[in-house]
Amino acid sequence: MQCPHCNIYFHDNWRTESFARQGIILKDSYTDEYFNYFQYRTAICPECKEITIQITRKNGNGDIVGSWIQIHPIGANRGPVPPPVPPDIAQDYIESCNVLPISAKASAALARRCLQNMLHAHNYRDRDLAKEIDLLLNETDPKKALPHKLRTTIDGIRNFGNFSAHPIDDRTTLQVIEVEPHEAEWCLETIEELFEHFYVGPAMARAKKAALDAKLAAAGKPPTKC
């Protein structure tokens, strides 16, 4: 498993316990399924020594009702946002990560807004997100075009329910959409790759060019042209 605190991978060491209110049968308000007791499990990271806690529900037959939900720490175990990413775009990404363990739908809605704002910031605009993704995929400028791996990834987003089907405006920007948890996770991974493409890569290229130009200037030579 991956530690949600320090992000290292380690062999899981879950310890499981159960608790219930004696004689009470509970009902899930979302699924209408009945369950008898809760079960929680804890794991300790051998590196940072922090604890991870997940909880689920079980019926009288011992079958899990629903899935394991991480309750500590709150938030998906994603890496930090790179410094070149604008604050407004970074904030949507962070909130999407934080809400993922609680609601994949809410996470996807925030990821959708984050993705579209990122496309708008780079002048890919159309009437809905699917068409804006098309504009990005059809980019002819070799300096802006996506690498093959990222093209395949972002193209797949359009298969997630109605993730990209509806236009986003002031009323629909956080529209709840039907996605599975692994699809919401994939959306976050795609956004991270786009951070690299749109912000981190160009920032590193500018820094390298500035360093090279400084060396050329010190040697009395003109700066690079590209």
49-65 pLDDT tens trace: 999 999 887 776 667 77
Same domain, residue pair 45 and 130: no
pLDDT computed for residue 196 by the predictor: 94
pLDDT computed for residue 76 by the predictor: 66
Same domain, residue pair 55 and 121: no
114 in any annotated domain: yes
96 in any annotated domain: yes
Tell me the residue range of the domain where 23 lies: 15-72
pLDDT computed for residue 169 by the predictor: 44
Interval 138-182: pLDDT, tens: 999 998 999 988 888 887 776 664 554 444 443 444 455 667 777
**Any idea which of 27-31, 105-109, 185-189 has the lowest mean pLDDT?**
27-31
Interval 28-51: pLDDT, tens: 555 555 556 788 999 999 999 999
Same domain, residue pair 22 and 62: yes
193 in any annotated domain: yes
184 in any annotated domain: yes
Structure tokens at 179: 């996605």
Same domain, residue pair 25 and 51: yes
- Whose CA is closest to 135, among 144, 143, 69? 144
Tell me: pLDDT of 89 over 60. Answer: yes
166 in any annotated domain: yes
pLDDT computed for residue 78 by the predictor: 74
Alpha helices in the chain (DSSP H): 87-99, 104-121, 129-137, 148-156, 181-195, 201-218
pLDDT computed for residue 162 by the predictor: 54
Same domain, residue pair 98 and 181: yes
Same domain, residue pair 51 and 97: no
Same domain, residue pair 42 and 133: no
pLDDT computed for residue 226 by the predictor: 66
- How far is residue 94's CA from residue 124's CA, in Å, rounded to a whole number? 23
Same domain, residue pair 96 and 65: no
- How far is residue 54's CA from residue 176's CA, in Å, rounded to a whole number? 25
Same domain, residue pair 104 and 160: yes
pLDDT mean over 173-201 = 81
What's the burial of 84, exposed, middle or buried (CB within 10 Å: 0-12/13-18/19+)?
middle
215 in any annotated domain: no
7 in any annotated domain: no
Same domain, residue pair 113 and 153: yes
Task: Please report how many Cα atoms fall inside a 13 Å half-sphere around the Cα of residue 220, on the Cβ side.
Answer: 0
Strand-pair partners of 53: 42, 72
Structural domain count, the chain: 2
Q: 65 with 59: CB under 8 angstroms?
A: yes
27 in any annotated domain: yes
**Any idea which of 88-92, 130-134, 137-141 has the lowest mean pLDDT?**
130-134
pLDDT computed for residue 168 by the predictor: 46
Q: Mean pLDDT of all residues in the chain?
A: 81
Place of tokens 């030579």: 221
Same domain, residue pair 94 and 197: yes
Same domain, residue pair 104 and 162: yes
Per-residue pLDDT band at 118 (split at 50, 70, 90): very high
